[in-house]
Amino acid sequence: MFDYLRDPQAIYRQSFATIEAEANLARFSPEERPVAIRIIHACGMVEMADNIVFGPDAINAGTRALLAGKPILVDAEMVRNGIITRLLPAQNTVICRLNDDNIPALAAMTGTTRSAASVETWTNDIAGAVIAIGNAPTALFHVLDAVISGHLPKPALIIGMPVGFVGAVESKEALINHAQDAGIPFVTLRGRFGGSAVTAATVNALARIAKPAENADGTTPVMTKDGKIAHD
């Protein structure tokens, strides 16, 4: 009854062609561009391009960490469930401890949210890891405090995209203003917008770059006769 596009590859191609035509992508480096496109695709808002901020070496730092088998530490189950594990280049572990039995007591003892309290359980995992925070500003603030103070080791990359009306803007501005001075690569979205989908999409885009079984834009790469990926 309805006439609509059904071919998944054609849908991807048309979607990303629309982003290329309508979004302001000129300020992104060649390495950043496919990740920015994936973020825009996840939220369906070409105007979001103006709010994307990459810290120095963010793409290289994230892909190196994934290729080295480092874990991905997330603040919420929705972020974990949005990460496409088949794309991860080294069977990387995705860790979310928000619902561990000890977290409510730890949160009460430290006077903070469960998301922020769960950061304290990352002690043995955070060094060189990829952090992906898509929901809780308190978790992003806590990570920054802990890493900058030396309480926790430095991760390879912080993807900080918490969503909301209380603390989201401020936590992301803190990431922009302090992570670079602390030598921590980062990716973030200015403003109130954020969430699990765009955060997981950022991880997935990095995974596609690290392990190009799919292009970073989500389409399937064309293979040459000798089994190599054909580049445009």
Residues near 144 by beta carbon (within 8 Å), at least 6 away in sequence: 158, 171, 174, 175, 178, 179
Q: Which of 26, 25, 47 is nearest to 37 (CA)?
A: 25
Catalytic residue chosen out of the listed positions 41, 142, 151, 231: 41
Q: Among the residues of 68-223, which ranges form H helices?
A: 77-82, 103-110, 114-119, 137-148, 168-178, 196-210
Q: Please, what's the b/e burial string for 25-41 (b: 16 or more CB within 10 A of its CB; e: otherwise)?
A: beebeeebbbbbbbbbb
Known catalytic membership, residue 231: no
Q: Which of 157, 156, 120 is nearest to 138 (CA)?
A: 120
Please give the positions annotated as active site: 41
